[in-house]
Amino acid sequence: MTNQNLLDLQSMEQLPESHAWLPLDHSPSYGPVNPNPIPLINLKNPNAMKLVGHACQTFGMFQVINHGVPTNLVEEMEDASRQLFALPIHQKLQAARAPNGVSGYGVARISSFFPKHMWSEGFTIVGSPNEHARKLWPGSYSKFW
């Protein structure tokens, strides 16, 4: 799926076949829910690297604490992300990743390895975000750094 064929997920009224991973009449049966919370990795712990490896192998994700990034910066990044993904699809496509490119808006690069399209969108930034921000917010891009 090319970036130009991205679905406007907010306007969907029914599941397109291109995104149906299971037959529409299939009722999945899920195994037991993992009762353990997402692993919390304290980067000040001398065993942090080992704990990250274990969390990836056994849980598939983790949360990091004591990383040194100020809380207000994390909150600003979360807010900027919400603003980005709330934009209309035509505006996000102004910063679409080139077919062989690395950075920009689009579907996950790994999506071509799957038989169905993913229900996701992403934005990858390699290097400075200036070029992409100018395309997305021509009149107010400077607030993003």
Q: Which residue has the higher pLDDT, 137 or 71?
A: 71
Q: Classify 68 in phi/psi space as left (phi over 0), alpha (psi -120 to 50) or beta.
A: left
Q: How large is the average pLDDT for residues 10-19?
A: 74
Mean per-residue pLDDT over the chain, rounded: 82
Coil, strand or helix at 66: coil
pTM flag (> 0.75): no
Q: How far is Cα 29 from Cα 31, in angstroms, rounded to an integer?
A: 7
Query: What Å distances lie between residue 66 and 70, 78, 119, CA to CA?
Result: 10, 18, 32
Note the pLDDT of residue 2.
Answer: 52
pLDDT tens digits for range 63-115: 999 999 999 999 988 998 898 889 898 888 988 988 888 888 988 877 778 88
Q: What does the block give as tokens for 135? A: 């395309």
